[in-house]
Structures are given as C-alpha cells and as structure tokens.
Amino acid sequence: MSNRTLTYGDIKVSPYEFTHLQTMKVVKKMNEHARLTLTGIISEERKDSYVNQTNAQTLISVALADESGKPKTWFQGIVLRVHVKAVRGIYYLSLEAISHTYLLDVKTRKRSFQNPAMTYAGLVKTVLSGYGKADFIDSVTNGKALNTFVMQYEETDWQFLKRMASRFYTGLIPTTAFDIPKFYFGLPKGQDKGKLTVSHYTVHKRVGDYQSDAENKVPGIDDQDYTVYEVQSERVLEVGNEVNFKSRPLVVGEAVTEMKEGIVTHTYKLYPRLGLARKKQYNHAIIGASIQGRVLQVQKDNVRAKLDMDDQQDQSTAYWFPYSTIYASEDQTGWYVMPELNDQIRIYFPSKKEEDGIAISSVLKEIPDDDKPAPKQKSSPKSNAGGGGGGGGDRMKDPAVKTFRTKYGKEIVLAPDKIVITTGDMSITISDTSGIDIQSSQNVNITAGKDIKLSAASLHISADKVELSGKGNTIKLEEKIEMKGSEIKMN
C-alpha cells in the first residue's frame, strides 16, 4: 500500500459511484468489527436505485491506490445503512458499512463442546463451519487443548470466540481486505513494518486499565505497558502491525482513517505488545442455569450426558460431570444413587465458569395420555393399596408419600401410615394399623447367627406341612402328627 499522501482521487468505492466523495472514515480496533462511514455526491439517475437495490446482502469494497497508482482492495464489508438527501437538485448519499466478521455477531446460540481433547483451533473451525469460506489465523493457541467443558450459552459466535481468546489474554482482530469473515485469533506475529517517523504525537498512560488488569491477574504486565502513543502518518498500517517508534517496538492497537477536504489521514494508537492484553471474560448468563440432558454413561459418581441443546454427542468424547447425590460426607458415608442410562438429568451451573457445572436430578416429564401404555392386568400385593398411596399408578400424586424406585421394579414407599418394600409379586408392608405383612411367591428364609425369639399373645402357623427339628428330634404336622425323638413325654 502507498506511503504517500492519498487524496479522494486515490479512493475507489464499489458498487456505489460518486461524482464527488466528500468524507470517509474507517475505524479498526481489536475485538470490534471494522466500521466504514462515507458521504458523497451521486448523479440524479442513481438517487433511487442506490436506496431501492441495497439490502442485507449488499456488499461494499473500498480500494486505495498503491505506490504505482493501481487500486488495491483495502476494505470489504456489508452495508448496514444507506441514506440519500436532495438539496437544491444535488443528491448526497451517505452510508454505513461493517466488516464481514459482523455475520458472526448476529445470532445467539446455545451449544456445548464436551471433548476435553479438542483444541482451541478445532473449536474455532467448528464455529466457522457454518459460514462458508470463513477463515481465521491462529496466532496464539499453539495447539492447546480445551482440557475441560466449554459451553456457548446465549452468545453470538463473535462474543463466544472473544471469550475463548481471552483465555489467552488476547482478542480477535478482523482483516478487512477479504470478501469473507476472516480474523486473527490473537495478536499477529511477524508483521514488523520498520521504523515509523512522525513529527507530531501525543502520549498518555492508561493507569485505570492497568490497575484493573493487574487485579484480574493478567500475567506479565507492567504499568509501562499501558503507555499509549497517538500519531498521524501517511503510511497505511493495520491493527496488529508492529513498528519501531521512540526506539521501542510498538503495536498498532487502533487505526482510524479519515478523508476530509480531499486529504486522507491515518491516526494510529501504538501500544507495547503487553499493553494490548485482555483480561479473561466470563459468561455471567450461565449463573444458575440448568441445561436438560440425557445420561449416556455412568462411572462411579460421574456421568456423561447428551445435552438437549446439542444436535448430537459422541459418547466416547463426552465430558464427565460430577453427579450431585442427595447426601455425601468426607468420610464416604451417605447416599450413592446414580441415574440410569437414558435418564433425564440437568446440568447445573452455580458460577460464571462452565467447568464448574454439575449433574443433578431432573424434573419428571409428564407422558401424554396417548403415549401411555395400557395398564397390565395382574394381581398386586396388598402393599399397593390404600391410605398411604403405595405403589399405584402416579407415585407423585401425594407429596406426603416418598418413593424410591429402580428400573428393575424394586420399590420402597414411605407413606405416613406405612412402609412398603416391593419387588415383583413379593412385598413387605409395615403398617401402623395392620402390623407387618410379608407376601412372597418364593421361599422366605430367616437365618440368625444366634437365637431367634418369637413372642406373641398367640402364634398361628398355617401350611400344608409344618416340620420342627433339632438335634435329631422332629415333629411333623401333616394329615397326621408324627413325632420322633430319643425320648417323648406327653401329658
């Protein structure tokens, strides 16, 4: 690009044609889309077509003359606003445009990146895959992996990627010479533009910014890194370019190009490289959020889950979330009750850090009447009946009844008037009114290491056969009574 002073004749704007370009301004900063505003006079024949034909897909290109006088593309973007004003038969067109990176900043999204082995570069590629030929230049990650759970929650892709870049204490820098969304992920390296010579400059120190960044533990910074030089130059530079000024290397952190009265001027803010560091950003919108999901795998007290907001999730790369139990203590006592595969759970985020997310129990989803299976016609134990609301259809209809049930049909019901333990056709009921009832379709075995004592006002034993035995002596009760022993005494 040219190092000489440019005039309005060195500027070419497409697709808009001006009979006279009056003003132009382009602002470029880290973490912000580049913005263009310009005004000029157009012919009467184009006064309506420029407004009518401009839409959300209208692109604009600005070229500046290089050393040989040939136009070289310098800015490409999307038109945001166009306005035509007529004054005494002269038609003035003004417009605003923005860099193509704006496309990443339109729609908010919710999705997760659960694979800890995924690299940050891989994450950015995944985000950009929805934008055609969109591209980025990785200046900082060096292949680093996420090593944790990452979630985009109610953020645009631009906001999300800025937050990811802040994990490296840096930001995003749009490149404006391309007709696609393209940016640097981190400050570019190797863009030394040599010595910058200017006759006038201003300097100031960002003391407040230094205090804030130091308190937020931005590494390696010093108050001298927050000295900023503002200069004007005829040289065309970009954000991220490095120059030698005042005998020290400085980086262009902001570039403002303006054309007034036919002359193009470039104003640059020059920073020490560390002065462009960015403190870590967090998504405060996740605090208190619960994301519904489905259990994919269970291991000890951790679960893998496919979140409802994701289209798909590879089980083998899903993140292991700690599962919050009802009660657990440091001495390993408490409940160990893990969800089953395909159970609905929630991932709860108690803080601004998504890696603090934990899996918790879920709200039971109501099954529509049309989808409910027909009830099975079979006898059920007495324990399913009555006042405490034991094992019937809707186990949640009475809040006074506590139910613990597994997918294998095992159930414990704690009702106000009884306790019911059920498995299939077998049950034990402990009732305040009717006592203890044991029903079993299989054997009932009672074994004790010492004594078994039965004490009651009356004892009733009913069976087709009753046999009592001990030390070779037996009593059998069938159709007749048979007694065997070394000695039998009867009164």
Q: Which residue has the higher pLDDT, 446 or 113?
A: 113
pLDDT at 383: 44
Using the 8-state DSSP alphabet, how is residue 223 labeled? Answer: G
Position 371 pLDDT exceeds 70: no
SS3 category, 304 = strand
Q: Which residue has the higher pLDDT, 362 or 79?
A: 79
Do residues 297 and 342 lie in contact, with contact meaning Cβ atoms separated by under 8 Å?
no
Mean pLDDT of 447-463: 88
What pLDDT digit, counting tens, does each position of 61-77 carry? 999 998 878 999 999 99
Burial class (CB in 10 A: 0-12, 13-18, 19+), 335: exposed
Mean pLDDT of 108-120: 98
What pLDDT digit, counting tens, does each position of 248-273 carry? 999 999 999 999 888 999 999 999 99
Mean pLDDT of 370-379: 54
Position 335 pLDDT exceeds 50: yes
Could you tell me the two tokens for 371?
Answer: 């989808």
Q: Is the dihedral of CA 40, 42, 48, 53 positive or negative?
A: negative
Predicted TM-score (pTM) of the model is 0.84
CATH of domain 285-360: 2.40.50
Rounded to the nearest integer, the mean pLDDT of the chain is 90
Q: Which residue has the higher pLDDT, 86 or 333?
A: 86
pLDDT at 479: 82
pLDDT at 152: 98
pLDDT band, very low/low/confident/very high, at 476 (cuts 50, 70, 90): confident
Ranking 15-24, 251-260, 294-303, 477-486 by mean pLDDT, the lowest is 477-486
Position 380 pLDDT exceeds 70: no
Say how far apart CA 40 and CA 13 lie, in whole Å.
11
Q: Which residue has the higher pLDDT, 389 or 87?
A: 87
Q: Strand pairing of 263-271 and 227-233?
A: antiparallel
In angstroms, what CA-CA distances link 423 with 288, 376, 400, 402, 420?
A: 38, 16, 22, 17, 10
What is the radius of gyration, based on Cα positions, of the chain?
38
Domain boundaries, the chain: 285-360, 387-439
